Structure 1
């Protein structure tokens, strides 16, 4: 008589199989998976920062008020709220202990949230794996700010500068790649760009500071950076766009602490621009999206989209109804999320989901005709309408207020991943 098979031991599964399972899970299941046992926790940590099968868009907000005891998670230090854009369910997620209280969300890129802690230092945070990567401290910015520290765990004589100092951060790729990644940050009210090398790969190097890349001269007080994006077929190239329309590229070479700077598009200085965005698309185009004050429309704004022709260094106007090819785009402090509405039919095709803009022209933003104020908005390119997707805790933002929410797509892939197989591009870069 054959011996009966022993009961399978889930804790004995190979770690590469466990990592694959983690990539199939949504946020609540991934956190529950991590809590099962030490091996599964290790698999969850090993999956950090790796593109995931699920690309569900999330709206992430800091939680400012403590939850009632009966609604607190196992870790009572809840610091963020995740809203699933597909089923509209919310989940409370705690920031890992020992990293300081989160005081601001400063972006989302390559599957990482960018968080400023109570020491005003930036940290990359993978909420699925509860993994963090510290970035150089705020005192590493050249001629920008001085922090006064005591006992290594408190900041004095300053009031949470991390809440106002950082505007947006994007990554060139995974920090776990062999060569690491470049982190590019807009800071000081959109006036300056700095960068750092981050990563833990065998060939990567980590910067101890934030070298200044470029700044907008103080005499040009009406201009500032509106957006930055990583867009490169190969190598590390970023594009930076100002409110007045100046588009500049920065190319980083391995081992060099400087970047090659090139002007791609000169300023157009459109006085009615509220803000601008850059979008790197799955079909390998670089788009400029302009939000323009329009007094003749009920919603007060019009959205126009141009393709950046990098060969001729010109803008090519696109018909609004055709510009996004049926995709939905998520814009804000995050790297743009460009998601297929065939994959996610609950998303609206040819629509742009906006969070409250942080980098903006304050004159036009505060204009009485502008209806783009608080909460999350969706702009339908075909109907040319701006509608509230839903109010976010009923918050309203004034000129000095910071957005509380940021878009997060767990498996946002770098441009080079989806463009490698394309036969031809209009991109000479």
Structure 2
């Protein structure tokens, strides 16, 4: 019988196609031959649950990650992320804001990185003092805002049109500032281009079939027009808020679900401390060509992952420990109160029986700076 280390490249490479990320690294640590195979894989990786990107470890400054499938934490030394706030995740890449109000786009598993220009609306902010001085006058005085409290309000969400490793002509789009205005950047641009918008706050962005779409309050949908003066153009109909009698609409998300655009409304209530608590979700499919919409009561056995990441879906039949018809979500607080700052609403909603459950310990609800963000590891 041949030694395991002498197996041919094709056989070993086929084996790696069944391995999730942690096992992939363990495979590469066996011997020099296997390590070479792990670096040259050609098959796509096995379906896997996303990871949560957590905060820095205060002592080591390592970035903490949580593997949902293993229920296990990992601590990775990624110097580029030291002290940065994560404001987006797309195709396995992270958007991170630094102390100079500029940012980077980085693949945390390969360390490939793009420097981003200063974010629009904050170009003149070069230190914490001037940033806090720019707070709107209607904020209550005496809270003693810190830069860490301001970071989450600079960029609300950021996504990519394509994986930069697959296409160099990708586009990055962000929602920024108090009103979640939109702007885009492409490699080679010296600054972000702000997109003209209607007078309303935006909730989410999606790249779908060659176009960027944005959803605003009242479930209004817009498509981004990239002509001479980029602007948002309303498409489709106004979808009534599908909320419970006691609840209220908290946030809207867009997702490309196997070629269908879905609009997902998160509804809930405020507790005695005025913190937003999620009660459930409504899944809506806008029919843009027919000026109508459908309400989905299940998601075909899939699981959805919503948050500051590009919203993702996974077939639960192919991934162990994944809740069928479950909507996993993370959502950070937007409050600047020292009491509420850092409270994060997260859980998993079962669309079948309309119940809510947890997937992570309650320690994440204690005050902290970074909000959990979903990422699909992409080291290949």
Q: TM-score, normalised by structure 1?
A: 0.67
Q: How does 1:326-365 map to 2 (within 5 A)?
A: 326-357=301-332
2:189 alignment partner, one of 175, 195, 207: 207
Inter-CA distance 215–123: structure 2 relative to 1 (3 Å threshold) = same
- Aligned mate of 1:87, from 67, 70, 76: 70
Find out whether 1:230 has 2:207 as its counterpart: yes
SS in 1 for 2:186: strand
Cα drift, residue 51 of structure 1? 6.2
CA contact (8 A) 1:249 1:264 kept: no
Q: CA deviation at 1:315?
A: 2.2
Contact map agreement 1:341 1:347 (CA 8 A) in 2: yes
Q: Is the 8 A contact 1:241 1:247 kept in 2?
A: yes
Are positions 1:305 and 2:294 aligned together?
no
Q: Among residues 71, 78, 85, which one is paired with 2:62 in the alignment?
A: 78
1:279 equivalent among 251, 255, 272: 255
How far, CA to CA, are the matches of 2:97 and 2:178 in structure 1?
16
Structure 1, unaligned stretches of length 5 or more? 67-75, 150-154, 199-205, 218-222, 367-372, 413-429
Give the match for residue 55 of structure 1. Answer: 48
Q: Aligned residue for 2:136?
A: none
- 1:182 Cα deviation from its structure 2 partner: 0.7
CA distance in 1, matches of 2:88, 2:13: 26
The alpha carbon displacement at 1:386 in A equals 1.7
Local SS of the residue matching 1:214: coil
Q: Give CA-to-partner distance per residue, 1:214-237, whole Å, 9 cap, x none.
A: 3453xxxxx4211111111xxx31
Contact 2:88 2:94 in 1 (8 A): yes
Superposition map of 1:163-182 within 5 A: 163-182=152-171
Q: 1:106 aligns with which of 87, 92, 96?
A: 87
TM-superposed CA distance for 1:340, in Å, is 0.5
State the partner residue of 1:395: 365
Aligned residues: 345
TM-score (norm 2): 0.75
CA-CA distance at 1:120 after TM superposition: 2.9
Residue 294 of structure 1 deviates from its aligned partner by 6.7
Which 5+ residue runs of structure 2 have no aligned equivalent? 132-146, 271-276
Mapping for residues 15-26 of structure 1, pairs under 5 Å: 26=20
Matched, 1:191 2:180: yes
Hey, what's the Cα distance between the residues in 1 that align with 2:313 and 2:232?
A: 28
Alignment map for 1:111-190 (pairs within 5 Å)? 111-129=92-110, 131-138=111-118, 141=120, 143-148=121-126, 157-158=130-131, 159=147, 162-190=151-179
SS at match of 1:410: coil
CA distance in 2, matches of 1:300, 1:169: 22
Secondary structure, aligned partner of 1:114: strand
